[in-house]
A = this chain, B = another copy of it.
Amino acid sequence: MNPLDYAASSRQRFLDQLFEFLRYPSISTLPEHKTDVANAADWLASHLRSIGMQTVECVPTDGHPIVYAEWLGANGPTLLFYGHYDVQPVDPLDQWQTPPFEPTLRDGKIYARGATDDKGQVWLVISAIESWLRSVGHLPCNVKLLIEGEEEIGSTHLGTFIRAYQQRLACDAVLVCDTAMFAPDIPSLVYGLRGLAYVEVHVRGPRRDLHSGSYGGAVVNPANALAAMIAALHDEHGRVAVPGFYDAVLPLSEQERQLLAALPFDEEAYRQELDVPALGGEEGYSVLERIGARPTLDVNGMWSGFTGTGAKTVLPATAHAKISMRLVPEQQPDQIAQQVARFLEQCAPAGVRVQVQTLHGAEPVLVDRTSPPMMAAARALEQSFGRAPVYQREGGSIPVVTTFVREFGVPVVLMGFGLHTDGAHSPNEHFHLANFHRGTDAVIYFFEELARGASFSPC
């Protein structure tokens, strides 16, 4: 039996096992789920042992454990797979049609927290490995698995682990299955991820909330001041007005613009799905360019004064905002955060005090579209989906990708099988069963194509 036939005949069992995996409420950010996270790691580790991985470790960290496994029996290249078994919180719980940790198959979709992000995608890789090991008895390439439990909380202890395991993690390529396909039935390879800089701004005026009648007109209102400071962050062309913000941005090449323009993207359908009267963003760029290849600045949260029902006439003592910037190569998160902080401080009127606090950041990354592992992935996708993949830049961040690029200096393949409409981080998260199966087949092909190392020209 070949691996594909093995996978085809094991579909129901793969799904049952994924359901078992999804039942663990491994919410990494909530302390009350610490044991659930640990149990998910243990269960995952014993499953990896059962399918024939040679080495399996459940490595404790100061946070949640990392599951690490190896199969090194091939006389071929070594692939490091990265994924995560932790999930996001589930609130608002009342918006779920079925409970988030009782996986349900409905209309060809697997509904559960973690279904698409990232347990379902981890599971198709593990199923592909089993399909090789249990059919022909070996894999065409060596495989190392690094499956962490802190991706949703900033991979706090992953850096320490990678430094400690540096020798053992040596590899020829990295595979990550945690991105989305461009559209249903269009297999996709992501070659760019945006970075992130995140600041929190605190504007303080009078020592206490004041009566807006007795004091209105005499002092600078921190909420009005913050609004003006935020307004100053953009110019009238939708560009970020912070001096130096674009200095390090790599311009889009004409070739890349053509590549993005060729993608089957319907702006009007996109606008309608979001239910906005018009799309927005930086002048002179298409929507896909704005999302994938241009940096942005967005308020993520803002609060001041009285926010209850009715009309309280308070002149608030303070006003606050969370503001984040999505970055593109070669912007540096620390530098951008500093530039934004300095600009906000300079914009503030004399009547208030401003404090800007930097939260976490992530570096942007671009990977080579023509590396042999990328070509192998493209061929694998074409065999599984029946059409060549598209290449896209993704607006979000996966901080660890930068670490792999920098620490190992090997090509990274971002081959995901989710869809943007899967509801990752939202109620009713789901994963299309068809993509679970096609993804399993694609990874089965990928192991072989990577080993073959044949040359391949991307479209």
Contacts and interface: CB of A to CB of B under 8 A. Distances in A.
Interface of A: 29-31, 88-89, 91-92, 95, 152-154, 180, 194, 196, 198, 200, 205-221, 223-224, 226-228, 230-234, 270, 274-282, 287, 290-291, 294, 296-316, 319-322, 324, 326, 349-353, 359-360, 394-397, 420, 423-428
A29 B302 contact: no
A158 to B, nearest CB: 15
B308 A426 contact: no
A29 B351 contact: no
Contacts of A200: 311
Contacts of A428: 208
B322 A311 contact: yes
A395 B207 CA distance: 19
Nearest to A233: B224
B234 A224 contact: yes
A314 to B, nearest CB: 5
A219 B313 contact: no
Contact of A314 (B224, B276, B425): B425
24 contacts: A29-B312, A198-B311, A206-B275, A208-B426, A209-B426, A211-B420, A211-B424, A213-B395, A213-B397, A214-B291, A214-B394, A216-B291, A217-B287, A217-B296, A218-B280, A224-B298, A228-B234, A300-B313, A301-B305, A302-B305, A302-B319, A303-B307, A313-B397, A314-B425
B276 A425 contact: no
Contacts of A214: 180, 291, 394-396, 420, 424
Nearest to A31: B309
Contact of A303 (B208, B224, B291, B303): B303
Contacts of A322: 305-307, 311-312
A212 B300 contact: yes
Nearest to A285: B217
A216 B425 CA distance: 13
A137 B324 CA distance: 71
A221 to B, nearest CB: 5
B89 A308 contact: yes
A216 B296 contact: yes
Given A208-B423, A212-B300, A425-B211, A359 B310 contact: yes
